[in-house]
Every structure is written in structure tokens, then in C-alpha cells.
Amino acid sequence: MKNLKLKAARAGKDLSQQDLADLVGVSRQTISAIEKGDYNPTINLCVKICKALGKTLDELFWEEE
């Protein structure tokens, strides 16, 4: 399932995939895979992404019913 909330939050901060990857210590390909829904990040990576974007886990990673 695509993570459009992550993509929107990243774009809202005017960050490229590479910018976000640099902030959280992963490759650009990892960020791309998370956004495409091809990769499930660890909880630690989810927390780092949330902190970098000023969002909560619920806002970025919780699937709404």
C-alpha cells in the first residue's frame, strides 16, 4: 500500500527523498520504497522519519479503517 501521507508530509517540508534519507540515515531508495509501499520500515526508522517531519506515527504510518 502506497504511503501517500509520508510523501505529502515530505513535500510539505520541501524535502526531496534524498534530503529525508540524509536526515534519517538511510538511502534515497529506502525512502522511495517506503513511499511506494514496497518496504516496511522498522519502528525505529518510522520514529526517525516522524521526528524529521514533525509528525506522529499515527499521522504517517497508521492505516485508517
pTM above threshold 0.85: yes
Cβ-contact 47, 57 below 8 angstroms = yes
Task: Kindly state the average pLDDT of the residues 21-44.
Answer: 97
Q: Judge contact between 6 and 49, C-beta under 8 A.
A: yes
- The residue ranges of every structural domain in the chain are 4-59
**List of E strands, 1-65:** none
Q: How far apart are CA 53 and CA 65, in angstroms?
A: 23
C-beta of residue 27 within 8 angstroms of C-beta of residue 33:
no
CATH number of 4-59: 1.10.260.40
Q: How confident is the model at residue 64 (pLDDT cuts 50, 70, 90)?
A: low
Torsion on CA atoms 7, 62, 59, 25, rounded to nearest 10: -60
Q: How confident is the model at residue 55 (pLDDT cuts 50, 70, 90)?
A: very high
